[in-house]
A and B are shown apart, each in its own frame.
Chain A
Amino acid sequence: MNKDSISNFINNEKIENLSRWLEQGFINEDFSPFLLNDRSSAAVQLKYLFDILNTAQQNKFKSAVALSIQNWKLNDDPSILTDLVILTSYVDAYDTIKALENILKSQSNGDAVEIKYEVAVEKIISTLFGFAKSGIEVLRIQKLFEKLFFGYFDRRYAVQLFIGLCICNPKQYPKYLAQFFDLYEETKDLYNLDIVVKTFLHTVPPNILREEFISLGFTYQDKLKNIAYAKPFFDFNEKYTSSAPQAKYRVEDSRRIKRELMSLENKKKLIETSLDVVKKKLYPQVVAIYLFSKEGNLYRAGISGVDSQSNLVKKWFEEPHYSLSNKEDESFIVRAAKNEESQFLNYFEEEALPKKIWDSYSEVLGGLRCGMAFPLDGKNRTYGVLVIMNKIDQKTGNIMLNSCAFSDEEYSWFSEISSLIAIAMSSFHRGEQDKLENDLSKLLVADSPKEKVYQEVVKRLTSENTGFKACVLRLKNEKEELEVIEVYAHANNDEEREKILSRRINRAIRPEAKAFHSEVEKYLKPEKFLIDESTIGKFSENQKWVRENKFKSFGCFPLVAGDDFFGTISLYSAYDYNFYSSYDNFLERVTTLLASFILRVKRGEQIENVIAEEIGHIKEIVREENFGKKKNQINQELENLAGSLASISIGQMILSLSSYSSFD
């Protein structure tokens, strides 16, 4: 059969006949004009054939090939399929995919499988590479490959599927590589890792390798770096490999996280964002932040995670506050706060959490396998604890219940993120402190009623973002007693607050009383101490109240302006509050501002008294002297003057009055 006769043959025969003719060609070694059986260069011959066919003939030929594939059965000679598959290099992807799907379907039906089947599948997958590279049916091929790759299809094809997926969607390579590494760990004998990695590194474009490297989990990054062939490759991309650039990258990433967290002005948002950062970096099943309450207990301030079915948990179970001193509350979370060092959770250590809590988490998460807790250490205090429990396989999204462990790199990252969150919290608290100070400044210079100012000061000093549970303002009265002007306590509700305040004895302290207030007044310096059995006696009347509220630390600050002592502000904390220097300075500034306000109020009151007295004198003179018709007019003017003076702010009034030396 020469070229012309082949051309005529293809023109004249139906597709079905051509298909049968092809099948014969693969079966029969002596089939003419081609040798398409499982020997030598069938593909070369077919390329020759294609070269002599016009487009219409080629399409007809392709249809015949596709039909042969469709007609292929496992009980036929599988070598036919092998060759047909090679032939499909010249056909289209759709039919090839269909062929593979048919084969897999047959296999799942338990039909006979022999070595030729393996070759056939191998060739089909290889052929699909070609289509993917050409951008033909890429999504469909990717979908099929992903289904097989992550569905743990016959692992002998894992390399092909892995590389094929990298061709289809190189940006997703971290997901595919991680899966491959896991498969390799389980079945090392099947693969030559060096060759696979070499192919992988030359399949994914270099820029994508660099850009997406960050998405590869630390464990897998390390695995990749440990492969000899990959090392020089990543040396080329020095940003990600040698220790110094790696550190640089790490620092840049840390700075980015830090900036993001520190830009947040809302505590709730700060916690939510922190949880998100941890999730993105470490893929825990659950991440939570525990903070110290004003009572000194740890409470769950935020939590985020998925349940055993990988569904986002929208409503979490109630979790009690943990006392650092109560043995029943002992847990790896409490230990992290108490010891100010990292703690770990292991699946076999059920005492890592209180039994009820362990069970609650196990129920939601499907089990507890691993976890870490890091203290959120600020400069002067520990804000709370960052906790992660269980890991998610970042490739599959499945919970890693069988091999849950955190690498050194992950541990390191967790530590760093904990620090960043603590820094952000510290920054947040400092911001809140500044805001409080600023608000008080405005309040104190404004023309506000002193009662309102006093109420606001004690209220703000016990607000959410301070460490104080109760505040007492005492001012010296005319009898030189330190009289309680305002008392306020932080509480969950007004009822609770009322209960706390009602138990307190608010008697004025006489000058001769031997209370610490006398020392404060005498030396004009704060009195600060931790409350224990050796110091509780200092509270005399309110010892019981201090005990009931379990206050642990106390500070009494003098209100001093110039040489004048006006009173004290006392602050109670329910935990071992350390009045460290920065907060001490803050309180000093607040008390100074308050003392200045009190001084101004007092002077204003003095001036008002003087003015009232002087106007009284004038009225007396007017009444005694005969001003005739002018009398009523003068009195009216005096009333107006008194009213005007009263309506002018004290500060302005002082300025106004200072410009007059007399009423002449």
Chain B
Amino acid sequence: MTEWVRAMSKEDSMESKSALLNILYDSKSSSQETKETLGLFFNFIARSWNQDLAENIFSAFCKFTGDNDSYFCKGRDISETNQECSRVMDLGSFYNRYIDDRNYAWGIIKPGQELEPYQVETLEENDISIRKEGVTIRGNKPFAWVTKTAALAEITESLPQQEWGAEIRNQLGLNHHRLHDIVYIEIQYHLETVRNTNLRSPTFIEGYSCLGDFYEPVYRSFKAEDGWGSAVNLETYENGLPEAVHSPIEFGDGFTLRYIGKAFASNQPFSTQHLLNSFRPPWYDNLSQELIELINHNFQVTIGG
């Protein structure tokens, strides 16, 4: 465990330092469920270090969750919130996975492909009654990111529609979409739906779930008073839109769709250094030692076990 933390804190790895900052932030959580999951994570690291983590220290996050879905959504339970929430999705992924083309017959929606006005109208007016059967709202891993509907509305009410996509992408920290034209759709959860959802504050477990080699993880643990986290704004590195995660839920009644539109590719590079610099408190030299002590003190880690 200690070796992994030390490897992660190497000077030339901005991402891993950011990760340690996040782990430290989440390790101070008062949630018992969160603590238990972190304990399992630390024990996994301790067990796995000598096997294959040395080569790719970052793969620890992927390997930990593996096939076990139960490690996600263990942050603070905020499902009693009075906030309606929304999930923003790439339209192509949404349509191709969730909508039954046997009824719509629009064909494959390719990345960056915009909808025609009649299609927008159809999606927005016909709720989701002709969705695919048995599909659940989730991401690559068995959880889904959401933001507050009202926060999205602030953006859409203050900007012209052609700017919505890029602004929302940036404020949601969707770095993996940054280099390409992406069209977004918003799935609005009705309040009743939110309350029946296992809505949780996000932790680094979700923040570093596998994204693949092309994606630079952009995550910063944060918890507002109401328990909601916050995405990293890709342009300012400040807090972006509020974010939370929930376990997979059936996609059916209790949702409304809203077409957001296209976010054009951005030429502005994302700096992991800037991200690291934006942490509060920032990175400091003995953070890794502090983290090791905190883990040893608060979590029962069996070295080599």
Contacts and interface: CB of A to CB of B under 8 A. Distances in A.
Interface of A: 1-3, 29-30, 32-35, 39-41, 43-45, 47-48, 86, 89, 115, 119, 122-123, 125-127, 129-130, 133, 156-157, 159-160, 162-164, 191-192, 194-196, 198-199, 202
A198 to B, nearest CB: 6
Contacts of A1: 213
B212 interface: yes
A130 B108 contact: yes
Specify the main secondary structure of chain A where it touches its partner: helix
B103 interface: yes
A123 B108 contact: yes
Which of the listed residues B90, B92, B93, B214 has the most CB atoms from chain A within 10 Å of its own CB?
A: B214
A122 B90 contact: no
Contact of A202 (B111, B118, B139): B118
B103 A192 contact: yes
Contacts of A33: 212-214
Contacts of B104: 159, 195, 199
B212 A29 contact: no
Given A86-B96, A122-B100, A43 B122 contact: no
A9 to B, nearest CB: 12
B213 A133 contact: no
Leading 8 A-B pairs by shortest Cβ distance: A129-B107, A163-B105, A33-B213, A41-B93, A126-B107, A126-B101, A160-B105, A40-B140
B226 interface: no
B62 interface: yes
Contacts of A29: 67
A127 B105 contact: no
A195 B180 contact: no
B126 A122 contact: no
Nearest to B100: A122
A205 to B, nearest CB: 13
Contacts, number: 114
B103 A130 contact: no
Contacts of B106: 126, 129, 199
A32 B126 contact: no
A160 B107 CA distance: 8
B122 A198 contact: yes
Contacts of A127: 107-108
Interface of B is mostly: loop
Given A126-B107, A191-B103, A195-B103, A202 B213 contact: no
A43 B113 CA distance: 12
A129 B108 contact: yes
A89 B108 contact: yes
A32 B103 CA distance: 35
Q: Indicate the member of B129, B134, B180 with the most A CB atoms within 10 Å.
A: B180
Given A126-B101, A195-B104, A48 B180 contact: yes
B304 interface: no
A3 B215 CA distance: 12
A437 B110 CA distance: 77
Nearest to A229: B118
A48 B103 CA distance: 29
A44 B92 contact: yes
B146 interface: no
Nearest to A29: B67
B41 to A, nearest CB: 17
Contacts of A163: 105
A30 B134 CA distance: 23
Given A122-B102, A156-B102, A32 B212 contact: yes
Interface of B: 62-63, 66-67, 90, 92-93, 96-97, 100-108, 110-111, 116, 118-119, 122, 126, 129-130, 132-134, 138-141, 177, 180, 182, 210, 212-214
B62 A43 contact: no
B93 to A, nearest CB: 5
A43 B96 contact: yes
Contacts of A198: 118, 122
Nearest to A162: B105
B110 A2 contact: no
A33 to B, nearest CB: 4
Given A44-B180, A126-B96, 10 more contacts: A2-B213, A32-B213, A41-B90, A41-B93, A43-B93, A47-B111, A48-B180, A89-B108, A123-B101, A199-B105
Contact of B102 (A35, A129, A159): A159
Nearest to A121: B102
Nearest to B93: A41
Given A29-B67, A32-B213, A202-B116, A196 B134 contact: no
A307 B141 CA distance: 63
A44 B90 contact: yes
A125 B104 CA distance: 12
A347 B305 CA distance: 86
Given A33-B214, A40-B140, A123-B108, A159 B103 contact: yes
B133 to A, nearest CB: 8
B92 A196 contact: no
Contacts of A48: 180, 214
Q: Which of A3, A35, A191 has the most CB of B within 10 A?
A: A35
A433 B141 CA distance: 91
A44 B95 CA distance: 13
Contact of A195 (B122, B210, B212): B122
A47 B180 contact: yes
Contacts of A156: 102
Given A32-B212, A43-B93, A196 B103 contact: yes
B155 to A, nearest CB: 23
28 contacts: A3-B214, A32-B212, A35-B140, A35-B210, A39-B138, A39-B140, A44-B93, A45-B212, A45-B214, A47-B110, A47-B111, A47-B180, A86-B108, A122-B101, A123-B101, A123-B108, A125-B101, A126-B105, A126-B106, A126-B108, A130-B110, A194-B126, A195-B103, A195-B104, A196-B103, A196-B105, A199-B106, A202-B119
Given A30-B62, A122-B101, A195 B90 contact: no
A133 B110 CA distance: 13
B90 A34 contact: no
Contacts of A32: 212-213
A40 B100 CA distance: 16
A76 to B, nearest CB: 20
B110 A43 contact: yes
B210 A130 contact: no
Nearest to A51: B180
Contacts of B132: 119
